[in-house]
Amino acid sequence: MQWKVRRTLAFSIHELALIVGEDITGQDLLPVFDMFLNDLDEVRIGVLKHLADFIKVTLQYCFIWLIFFHFVMVYF
């Protein structure tokens, strides 16, 4: 996928999260969100600009993901 497409999605992923809801966002959009955080600066800016909006929808999954990530990094 070209960076311009990823940038457009990064700027609107929080809106997609509101539409599909918390469960689908946590399962399907959170990995994409994470990928965008590790992308080019142009893409990363879009994600960071709407970070609070995205977290509002995925609060439960963000905590689970952070705990899991911490567990994997500490013990593996």
Q: How far apart are the first and last CA of the chain?
A: 31
Q: What is the extent of the structural domain holding 17?
A: 3-75
Return the pLDDT at 71. Answer: 65
Taking the C-alpha atoms of residue 13 and residue 18, their distance in angstroms, rounded to an integer, is 9
In sequence order, the 6+-apart residues with CB closer than 8 A to the CB of 66 are none
Per the structure, the count of domains in the chain is: 1
Res. 76: pLDDT tops 90? no
In sequence order, the 6+-apart residues with CB closer than 8 A to the CB of 20 are 28, 29
Taking the C-alpha atoms of residue 52 and residue 55, their distance in angstroms, rounded to an integer, is 5
Return the pLDDT at 73. Answer: 63
Least Cα distance to 50 among 21, 8, 22 occurs for 8
Res. 52: pLDDT tops 60? yes
**Segment 55-69, tens digit of pLDDT:** 888 776 666 666 766
